[in-house]
Structure 1
Amino acid sequence: MNATANRAAAARVSSPSPSSSSFTHTHAVVIGRFQPVHFGHQRLIEQALRTAQRVIVVVGSHGQPRSVKNPFTFDERERMVRASLNADAQMRVSVVGVGDAPYNDQLWIAGIQSAVDRLVAQDGVAPEQARVALVGHLKDASSYYLRLFPRWEFVPHENVQSIHATDVRQLYFHPEMRGQLPADALPAGTAGFLAQFTQTADYAALVEERAFLADYRDRYRYAGSEFPPIFTTVDAVVVEAGHILLVQRKFHPGKGTWALPGGFVGQQERLLDAAIRELKEETRLKVPVPVLQGSLKGQQVFDAPDRSQRGRTITYAFFFELAHNQWTGLTPVRANDDAAATRWVPLAEFLDMRERVYEDHYFIANHFLGGLGKN
């Protein structure tokens, strides 16, 4: 991108708010993860501001723990969005966070629809009477979601030559390559935020995690092949008397987050056997193997292609519901050396823990818990 184009792209929305009669829609929606905000995002919001008096920016992957893929919180991303707008434009923009639902598109769609309808109603417009535009760019197969909202009119926007968020993260969290991320490659508000974030402990932890993941992928690549391996893992969802059994990760990736007990399948193991082995190794759960086998209530494959930062990982989850002895209390557990802690977590508490749960384990557990999780 040349310097002239960068300076033009860096200019914030500065035109005065036009009258409502000049708009084709009452509301315009822009959906993205904004990890971080780049010029492509900024241009989509500008198009939305030309389309409708009121703009709703939907920030996806809300409530995820920090990771190299999702390094910034909703509040931080809202700050970057607003930093790309002038004061007049900011008054016309609402920013709302919506969580992922990687194994249920309908739940994710409903979450976005609900958030948009709620903001439309706050503007005094009945949602069924609003003329809503969905502004977006159909760049590749990952943009399929733009066709999932037939009630809204899709307003396409041309591609903007800009560094992509994935490329930004790859450079930004590589300490030796961060200098290759020129200041004018991003909106000024984003560049300023990123400069400040490098001074935080969160940045240092993410740099460490990125280095671990890069080394992991190199070590586990098929010898002499261009194709990376596909890993097979197992996870155990164990509940007893309204509690779920979790372990706190002691190492990268996801250091400090809470996870389901589980791990990799051995070469000579069947899946259920591997799940029970990992469960007992990680938690020292005082339940005999035959009792665990008899407590199995369900199983499911979870195979979202990008569910794990380590590479393509397909996991088989098993749901165990333990009988409870009211006289002895919850079954004793104890963390092994690979876990920082293990504990029985009340389900009501677990439902508010999404920001602290590793990768997609929150959604895996909710599959068996009947979809009780909050979106």
Structure 2
Amino acid sequence: MNYDVAVLIGRFQPFHAGHCSLIASALDRADRLLLLLGSHRCAPDTRNPWSSEERERMIRAALPADWQRRLEVIPIRDHLYSDNLWLAEVQQKVLAATDEEDRVLLVGHRKDRSSYYLDLFPQWDFQDVPLNSDVHSTAIRQAYFSGADDSQWASHVPEAVRAFLTDYRETGRYRWLRQEADYIAGYRQLWSVAPYPPTFVTTDAVVVQSGHVLVVRRRVRPGQGLIALPGGYLNQQEMVVEGMLRELREETGLKVPKPVLEGSIADRHVFDAPGRSQRGRVITHAFLIQLKGGVLPSVRGGDDAEKAFWMPLADIYAHEDSFFEDHVQIIQHFISRI
């Protein structure tokens, strides 16, 4: 059966030979292809190093001209804590790009547990495409950012992608990501001797006042220079609330009495997506502190924070690709409830 539209969902970090075969299979079965590009506007790290624009350039440069004419690239955001929000965005984007009578085919490859999303679209036919290669983007990124010899990754990507990645190594962003990769590798090595994989507990404070949220710019790795919520690891001998208030004061110097802060806690939630941090399994307890309107209290960076400042809520999404880990989604969770 020939379809009007094929849908292919992925991050393509980077685009490799296996992805190329998926596109070929999709275009064999459909007149045109909607390529949904995941992790849109994520802050760069070694899991999502390239922006949506950079990935689209890679993909288009690697494909024949006649394939490109039948291809539409549509970025979509991640929603770590709500499959339904993610599904709604996918459905909305596909609906906007198709006609009501179009026959739609979802194309994909079931590689592991991360492919569960392929079963979430019963309204479309599905084609599972086996890949001739066992290449994975994760292995390519690990070799590329470890400084390994090109032979360990270059043969797995199209020539145009190889050229892009070779040029990219001369950029400041590559050097920053390489340092991040080295830090993460060293951090994981420190814990590799533990008798079982460790689970870390952290706290984060979402302090909101007069349409602003209190944030910091990170002084240390990982995420050096990125915007983050004030927070950090829980000490062994403190309660979670105590740890949150301690980190808040250490990183921002917020001049609000402790009883006022405690009395202004309006909500709390645990954020535990298994892949939320590249350091390992990190579960954070986040608290919403809703302060009364008025003049914003003075703040200053301290401890692990290079700078502390009040950000207007309207600016969060303008800067979402500069936020550390899942902190935009943590903020979004709370401010949607205020």
TM-score of the superposed pair, with normalisation by structure 2: 0.97
**2:253 aligned partner:** 284
**SS in structure 2 of the partner of residue 26 of structure 1:** strand
**2:20 aligned partner:** 42
Partners of 1:207 and 1:270 in 2: how far apart? 36
Partners of 1:100 and 1:338 in 2: how far apart? 27
2:103 is aligned with 1:131: yes
**1:19 aligned partner:** none
**2:85 aligned partner:** 107
**1:356 aligned partner:** 322
Tell me which amino acid in the other structure corresponds to 1:205: W
- 1:31-50 CA-partner distances (Å, limit 9, x unpaired): 00000011111111111101
Structure 1 residues 304, 50: closer, same or farther in 2, change over 3 A?
Answer: same
Partners of 1:141 and 1:258 in 2: how far apart? 31
Are the aligned partners of 1:99 and 1:108 in contact in 2 as well (CA < 8 Å)? Answer: yes
Partners of 2:144 and 2:219 in 1: how far apart? 25
**SS in structure 1 of the partner of residue 318 of structure 2:** coil
Instruction: Please report how far the alpha carbon of residue 267 of structure 1 lies from its aligned counterpart in structure 2 after TM superposition.
Output: 0.4
Partners of 1:178 and 1:69 in 2: how far apart? 20
Instruction: Please report how far the alpha carbon of residue 152 of structure 1 lies from its aligned counterpart in structure 2 after TM superposition.
Output: 1.2
TM-score of the superposed pair, with normalisation by structure 1: 0.88
**2:282 aligned partner:** 313
**1:198 aligned partner:** 169
Are the aligned partners of 2:21 and 2:131 in contact in 1 as well (CA < 8 Å)? Answer: no
1:28-67 residue pairs with structure 2 within 5 A? 28-67=6-45
Partners of 2:240 and 2:155 in 1: how far apart? 51
Tell me which amino acid in the other structure corresponds to 1:150: P
**SS in structure 2 of the partner of residue 352 of structure 1:** helix
- Aligned-residue sequence identity (percent) comes to 45
Instruction: Please report how far the alpha carbon of residue 281 of structure 1 lies from its aligned counterpart in structure 2 after TM superposition.
Output: 0.7
Instruction: Please report how far the alpha carbon of residue 337 of structure 1 lies from its aligned counterpart in structure 2 after TM superposition.
Output: 4.2
> Of residues 249, 258, 267 in structure 1, which corresponds to 2:236?
267
- 1:326-365 CA-partner distances (Å, limit 9, x unpaired): xxx1111111142121110000111322111110000011
Q: How many residues align?
A: 338
What root-mean-square deviation, in Å, do the aligned CA atoms of Structure 1 and Structure 2 show?
1.4
Instruction: Please report how far the alpha carbon of residue 54 of structure 1 lies from its aligned counterpart in structure 2 after TM superposition.
Output: 1.1
2:149 is aligned with 1:159: no
Partners of 2:274 and 2:59 in 1: how far apart? 28
- 1:124-169 CA-partner distances (Å, limit 9, x unpaired): x23xx22110000111111000111111111111133142100001
More displaced, 286-295 or 183-192?
183-192
Partners of 1:183 and 1:347 in 2: how far apart? 43
**1:13 aligned partner:** none
**2:265 aligned partner:** 296
Partners of 2:102 and 2:191 in 1: how far apart? 52
2:179 is aligned with 1:213: no
Structure 1 residues 221, 269: closer, same or farther in 2, change over 3 A?
Answer: farther
Are the aligned partners of 2:251 and 2:301 in contact in 1 as well (CA < 8 Å)? Answer: yes
Larger radius of gyration: 1
Are the aligned partners of 2:140 and 2:153 in contact in 1 as well (CA < 8 Å)? Answer: no
**1:16 aligned partner:** none
**2:305 aligned partner:** 339
**SS in structure 2 of the partner of residue 142 of structure 1:** helix
> Of residues 330, 348, 361 in structure 1, which corresponds to 2:296?
330
Instruction: Please report how far the alpha carbon of residue 236 of structure 1 lies from its aligned counterpart in structure 2 after TM superposition.
Output: 0.5
Structure 2: runs of 5+ lacking an equivalent: none
> Of residues 157, 160, 169 in structure 2, which corresponds to 1:186?
157
Are the aligned partners of 1:139 and 1:159 in contact in 2 as well (CA < 8 Å)? Answer: no
Partners of 1:160 and 1:354 in 2: how far apart? 37
Are the aligned partners of 1:39 and 1:162 in contact in 2 as well (CA < 8 Å)? Answer: no
**2:59 aligned partner:** 81
Partners of 1:292 and 1:152 in 2: how far apart? 50
- 1:190-226 CA-partner distances (Å, limit 9, x unpaired): 1111111111111111111110111111123454x2x
> Of residues 119, 128, 141 in structure 2, which corresponds to 1:169?
141
**2:48 aligned partner:** 70
**SS in structure 1 of the partner of residue 274 of structure 2:** coil
- 1:73-112 CA-partner distances (Å, limit 9, x unpaired): 1011101111221111100000011010000111111111
**SS in structure 2 of the partner of residue 353 of structure 1:** helix
- 1:232-284 CA-partner distances (Å, limit 9, x unpaired): 00000110010000001112111111001000000001001100110011000
> Of residues 68, 73, 91 in structure 2, which corresponds to 1:90?
68
Are the aligned partners of 2:250 and 2:303 in contact in 1 as well (CA < 8 Å)? Answer: no
Structure 1: runs of 5+ lacking an equivalent: 1-22
